[in-house]
Amino acid sequence: MSETSFDARALRDAFGAFPTGVTVVTTHDASGQPVGFTANSFTSVSLDPPLLLVCLAKTSRNFETMTKAGKFAVNILSETQKDVSNTFARPVEDRFAAVEWKPGPEGSPIFADVAAWFDCLTEQVLDAGDHVIMTGRVGAFDNSGKNGLGYARGSYFTPALAGKAVSAAAEGEAQLSAVIERDGDLLFLSNGTLSLPACAMESGEPVQTLRAHLERLTGLNISIGFLYSVYESRTDNRQHIVYRATASAGEPAAGQFMAPAAALQEKFDSTATADIVRRFDLENSIGNFGVYFGNEIAGKVHPVSRKA
pLDDT tens for each residue of 93-145: 788 988 999 999 999 999 999 999 999 999 999 999 899 999 999 999 999 88
| Residue 16 burial class via C-beta count within 10 angstroms: exposed 0-12, middle 13-18, buried 19 and up | middle
Mean pLDDT of the chain: 84
Give per-residue burial for 134-169: e unless 16+ CB within 10 Å, then b.
bbbbbbebeeeebbbbbbebebbbbeebbebbeebb
Q: Which amino acid is at 3?
A: E
Please compute, for residue 182, the number of CA atoms within 13 A of its CA located in the half-sphere on the CB side: 17
Nearest Cα to 78, choosing from 142, 27, 140?
142
- CATH number assigned to the domain covering 3-152: 2.30.110.10
Domain boundaries, the chain: 3-152, 155-305
Comparison of pLDDT for 75 and 97, the residue scoring more? 75
Cα–chain center distance at 162:
11
Rounded to whole angstroms, how far apart are CA atoms 148 and 159?
A: 8
CATH topology of domain 155-305: Nucleoside Triphosphate Pyrophosphohydrolase (3.90.79)
Comparison of pLDDT for 3 and 232, the residue scoring more? 232
305 forms beta bridges with 288
At 276-308, the pLDDT tens digits run 999 999 888 877 777 767 665 666 666 554 443
Share of the chain above pLDDT 90, in %: 47
73, 86 Cβ separation under 8 angstroms? no
pLDDT beyond 90 at 235: no
Q: At what angle do helices 206-218 and 159-170 cross, to 10 degrees?
A: 80
At 239-265, the pLDDT tens digits run 888 888 899 999 999 999 999 999 999
What pLDDT is attached to residue 273? 92
pTM: 0.58
